Amino acid sequence: MAVFSGYNLSCARGHRLIFEDLSFEIESGQILTLTGSNGCGKTSLLRMMAGLLDPFTGSIQWKGENTGSDFLSRNILWMAQETPLKPQLSVIENLQFLSCIMGGPSDKAAIQESLEKAGLGRFSHYPVSYLSMGQRRRTLLTLLYLVKRKIWLIDEPTNHLDKEGRDHLVNGVSDYVKQGGIAVIATHRPELWGSCTILDVSAFREGTKEERQAA
Amino acid sequence: MTPFNAILFKDLKSDFRHGGQFLFLPAFFLLIVMLYPLSLGANLKVLQTAAPGLLMIAALLASLLPLEKLYTDDMKDGTMDLLMLSPQPVSFYTGGKILAHWIIAGLPLVIMSPLMALMMGLSINWPDVLLIFIPATLLFVLIGQIAAALSLGARRGSVLLALLVIPLYIPVLIFGAGALDLLQTENPAKGPMLFLWAGLAFTLPVTPLVTTKLLKMQMD
C-alpha cells in the first residue's frame, strides 16, 4: 500500500472534464513531478491533493485512508504559483505572518536564520515591493524550511528563479526527500529533479480512457 | 505571536504603510459632513433637524469604502489558500480581520463624531455621541464583513456589495439617527441606544463564524 495515493481521479470545470481516471502512488522519500501541456490540469491535481479542490470522481488517500481536512492542515505544505506576500510589509514580517498561520515558528531569529540560508539575509528588512519576482519567489520558498510538513505540493517552483535560486531549491527538495518527505512538483522541467517519478497529466485528458485501456 | 495577532498586525501595517491610505476614510467622512451645511444653507434650525440622519448617512457611506478590498487581495494572491490549509481555525483570521477593519474604518469615525456633531450644530454631550457611534460603526463593520465575504469573486462585486449591504445597514441608521435626534431634543434616548448595543451583542459573536463559513464556500 502506497503512503500517499490517488485513485480514479477526475476533475470537472463547468461541463468539461479536464482529466479523468487519473491515479498515482507515492512512497515516502519520493518526488513525483506532474508534467503536461498548459491547461491539462497540473495545478488542479495539486489543488486536489491539497484538499483545495474536490475531485469530481475518485479519492486521495494517506496510508489507505481518505485524507480529511484535519490531516491536510497538519501535513501538507502548499506552495502556489502566486506569491502571497504583502508589498507594504518587509520580507521578515511577511514570513512571520505566513509561518505563524501555517503553525511554524514566528520568532524573528528563526526566520532570519532561514533567510540567511536562502541567501536573502540582507533583504530581510526590505519591503517586498522592492524585490524582484525571483527574489519574492525565493522568499516564499523559505517557508518550506520553516514549516515542517510531510508533503510538499509545489506549483511551478522554478518560475522566475535564476540558476542559483534553482540549485538552492533542487538541493532543498533533495535533502527533504532524503529525510523521508514527499514532494509533488508541477513543472515543465522534470529533468531538474533527478530520479523522480513523472506523471504526464495530459495523457489523462477527457476521452483518452479507452485509448489507455487499449494500450 | 498568535494567528489572531499576526492577521491583525498584518492588516494594520499594510494599511498604515500604504501611502497614507488610513487618512482617506476620515477625510471622506469630513468632506461629506462639510457638504451638508453648504447645500442646506446657513439656517441652523434646518441643519439641526437634519443633522442626526445626515451624520449617520455620512458614517454609512464612509464605511462602504473599504469593503470591496477586504478579502479580494487575500483571495487573489493565494493567502486564502494557505489559511484554508492552516492548522489554526479560520475564525482566527476573520476575527483579526474584523478588529483591524474596525480600527481602520470605524475608530477614526468614532473619534471624529463629537466634532462632526458640533459642526452640524448639535448640542449633545460628547460621551453620548461616542456611545452611539461605537456600536453603530462596529455594526457597519460586522455587517460589511458578511456582505464582503458573500460577494467575493462575483462579477461587478462592488455594485453587488453596495446593493447587499445598504439595506442591512438601515436598522443601524434608524436607531443611530433616532438616538441622536432624541438627545438633541433633550429626550431620553435609552431605547434606540439599547437597540444598537443589543444588535452589536448579537452580531459580534455570530459574524466571525458566518464569515468563515462563507469564505470556505467561496473557496470550494
C-beta of residue A153 within 8 angstroms of C-beta of residue A119:
no
C-beta of residue B215 within 8 angstroms of C-beta of residue A52:
no
* Cα gap B191→B219, rounded to integer Å: 41
A103 contacts in chain B (CB < 8 Å): 86-88
C-beta of residue A197 within 8 angstroms of C-beta of residue A34:
no
Considering only the beta carbons, identify the residue of B1, B14, B81 that sits closest to A86. B14
Q: Whose CA is closest to A51, among A202, A203, A153, A199?
A: A153
CA distances to A49, A63, A125, B44, B74 from A9, rounded to whole Å, are: 10, 17, 44, 72, 29
pLDDT at residue A190 above 70?
yes
Cell of B193: 441606544
- Check CB contact of B75 with chain A, cutoff 8 Å: no
DSSP code, position A150: S
Residue B21 CB partners (closer than 8 Å, separation 6+): B15
Q: Choose between B174 and A138: higher pLDDT.
A: B174
B10 contacts in chain A (CB < 8 Å): 86, 89, 93, 97
Neighbours of A210 (CB within 10 A): 8
Superfamily per CATH, domain A4-214: P-loop containing nucleotide triphosphate hydrolases (3.40.50.300)
pLDDT at B139: 96
Confidence of residue A209 (pLDDT cuts 50, 70, 90): low
Work out the burial of residue A132: count CB atoms within 10 Å of its CB; fewer than 13 is exposed, 13-18 middle, 19 or more buried. Answer: exposed
C-beta of residue B82 within 8 angstroms of C-beta of residue B117:
no
Residue A96 CB partners (closer than 8 Å, separation 6+): A106, A108, A111, B1, B6
CA distances to A4, A28, A200, B64, B183 from A63, rounded to whole Å, are: 6, 11, 23, 49, 68
pLDDT at A65: 83
Most B CBs within 10 Å, among A100, A108, A155, to test the B interface:
A100
B17 contacts in chain A (CB < 8 Å): 88-89, 127
User: Which residue on chain B is closest to A93 by alpha carbon?
Assistant: B10
Q: Choose between A17 and B112: higher pLDDT.
A: B112
Residue written as cell 530520479?
A195
Ramachandran sector of residue A6 (left: φ over 0; alpha: ψ -120 to 50; beta: rest):
beta
Q: Considering only CA atoms, give the Rg of chain B.
A: 18
The reply to whether residue A100 touches residue B17, judged by beta carbons under 8 angstroms, is no
DSSP string, B79-129: HHHHHHT-SS-HHHHHHHHHHHHHHHHTHHHHHHHHHHHHHTT----HHHH
Give the residue extent of every domain in chain B.
3-219
B14 contacts in chain A (CB < 8 Å): 86, 88-89
Considering only the beta carbons, identify the residue of A50, A52, A93 that sits closest to B13. A93
Cβ–Cβ pairs < 8 A, chains A and B:
73
Q: How far is CA A210 from the centre of its chain?
A: 30
pLDDT at A212: 66
pLDDT at B156: 75
Taking only the tens place, the pLDDT of each residue in A23-44 is 999 999 999 999 998 988 899 9
The reply to whether residue B6 touches residue A82, judged by beta carbons under 8 angstroms, is no
A12 contacts in chain B (CB < 8 Å): none
Q: Is A38 helix (H, G, I), strand (E, B) or coil?
A: coil
Confidence of residue A214 (pLDDT cuts 50, 70, 90): low
pLDDT at B140: 95
**Portion 172-201 of B in contact with A at CB < 8 A:** none
A89 contacts in chain B (CB < 8 Å): 10, 13-14, 17
Taking only the tens place, the pLDDT of each residue in A85-134 is 999 899 999 999 999 988 888 888 989 988 888 888 888 899 999 988 88
The reply to whether residue A102 touches residue B17, judged by beta carbons under 8 angstroms, is no
Residue A188 CB partners (closer than 8 Å, separation 6+): A35, A156
DSSP code, position A59: E
- Check CB contact of B88 with chain A, cutoff 8 Å: yes
Confidence of residue A215 (pLDDT cuts 50, 70, 90): low
pLDDT at A213: 65
Residue B155 CB partners (closer than 8 Å, separation 6+): none
- The mean pLDDT of chain A is 87
Smallest CA–CA distance, residue B88 to chain A, in Å, is 7
pLDDT at A94: 93
The reply to whether residue B81 touches residue A78, judged by beta carbons under 8 angstroms, is yes
pLDDT at B177: 95
Residue A118's φ and ψ, nearest 5 degrees, are -85, 0
pLDDT in tens, chain B (220 residues): 788 888 899 889 988 887 677 788 999 999 999 998 888 887 888 888 999 999 999 999 999 888 888 888 888 888 888 888 888 888 888 899 999 999 999 999 999 999 999 998 888 889 999 999 999 999 999 999 999 999 887 777 778 888 989 999 999 999 999 999 999 888 888 999 999 999 999 999 999 999 999 988 887 6
Residue written as cell 505540493?
A153
Q: Is B144 helix (H, G, I), strand (E, B) or coil?
A: helix
The reply to whether residue A80 touches residue B2, judged by beta carbons under 8 angstroms, is no
**Helix extents (H) in chain A:** 42-50, 69-75, 91-101, 108-117, 133-141, 143-146, 163-178, 209-214
* Cα gap A120→A87, rounded to integer Å: 16
- Check CB contact of B21 with chain A, cutoff 8 Å: no
ipTM score: 0.85
* Cα gap B59→B21, rounded to integer Å: 17
A127 contacts in chain B (CB < 8 Å): 17
pLDDT at residue A49 above 80?
yes
